[in-house]
């Protein structure tokens, strides 16, 4: 993670306990079945990595987590857990390569996610992928709240999490991966929520707000040869 964001672990320590226990099962299909060596950046308590390990005895999952308490829990679930903030040249990863590197709601916490994604190319085996979930700033109930209240208010968690440094739409996500040396193979909206107000707005705009019902996007991007 960006070196200028030195207080990440301290800020994470204020999160509610269940913040670290989400298994993120909806992200499992974004990790190719052929992936056997996986690194999860921001692994929390290891619940997602544990799901990946259930795919078979040959799956190895390493995790990196800045919150020490969560990293301690993850140690009992994953093959190795590094407590700290991620950088592609950290000594613990020297000489290590992975089939997949996962960032579940992590890239938006970084001042320079492009630099991190560029560095990840050196940690991926040929044909390896980056898998990520990224919040959608155009989620209908978030963007309508901004427009109506005319305020940009940070919160303890969610799309306006007070530890988010970057904000994304579908287009900017694809652009970020393409400019850092990846081909986006899959990008889909996840965790949809569509109420009556959204349905009316989407109808009146002839479906132009189709992405606005998603809280996040899931991405699979393969490193470009």
Where would I find the H helices in 112-193?
113-120, 140-149, 170-179
Give the confidence band of 25 by pLDDT, cuts at 50, 70, 90.
very high
pLDDT in tens, 28-42: 999 999 999 999 999
Q: End-to-end CA distance of the chain, in Å?
A: 24
User: Cα–Cα distance between 153 and 106 in angstroms, integer?
Assistant: 20
More confident residue, 101 or 148: 101
CATH number at residue 62: 3.40.50.150
Please choose, from the candidates 17, 23, 21, the residue with its C-alpha nearest in 3D space to the C-alpha of residue 50.
23
In a domain, 146, yes or no: no
pLDDT in tens, 163-181: 999 999 999 999 999 999 9
In a domain, 179, yes or no: yes
What range does the domain containing 171 cover? 8-136+164-192+215-223
In a domain, 155, yes or no: no
Which residues face 63 on adjacent strands?
Answer: 40, 81
In a domain, 45, yes or no: yes
As for how many domains the chain has, the answer is: 1
In a domain, 2, yes or no: no
Give the confidence band of 9 by pLDDT, cuts at 50, 70, 90.
very low
In a domain, 128, yes or no: yes
Packing angle of the helix pair 196-204, 140-149 (nearest 10 deg): 90
User: What's the pTM?
Assistant: 0.88
Give the confidence band of 21 by pLDDT, cuts at 50, 70, 90.
low
Give the confidence band of 5 by pLDDT, cuts at 50, 70, 90.
very low
Beta-carbon neighbour count of residue 71 at 10 Å?
Answer: 23
């Amino acid at each position: 993670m960006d070196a200028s964001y030195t207080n990440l672990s301290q800020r994470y320590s204020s999160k509610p306990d269940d913040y670290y226990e989400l298994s993120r099962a909806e992200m499992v299909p974004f990790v190719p079945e052929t992936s056997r060596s996986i690194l999860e950046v921001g692994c929390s308590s290891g619940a997602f990595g544990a799901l990946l390990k259930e795919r078979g005895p040959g799956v190895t999952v390493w995790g990196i987590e800045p919150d020490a308490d969560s990293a301690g829990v993850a140690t009992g679930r994953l093959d190795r857990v590094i407590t700290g903030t991620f950088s592609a040249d950290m000594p613990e990863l020297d000489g290590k390569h992975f089939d997949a590197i996962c960032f579940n709601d992590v890239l938006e916490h970084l001042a320079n996610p492009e630099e991190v994604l560029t560095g990840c190319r050196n940690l991926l085996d040929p044909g390896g992928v980056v898998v990520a979930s990224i919040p959608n700033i155009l989620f209908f109930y978030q963007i309508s709240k901004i427009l109506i209240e005319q305020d940009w208010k940070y919160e303890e968690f969610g799309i306006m999490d007070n530890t988010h440094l970057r904000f994304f739409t579908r287009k900017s996500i694809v652009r970020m991966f393409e400019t850092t040396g990846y081909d986006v193979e899959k990008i889909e909206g996840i965790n949809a929520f569509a109420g009556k107000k959204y349905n009316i707005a989407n109808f009146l705009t002839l479906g132009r707000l189709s992405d606005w019902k998603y809280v996040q996007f899931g991405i699979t991007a393969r490193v470009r040869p």
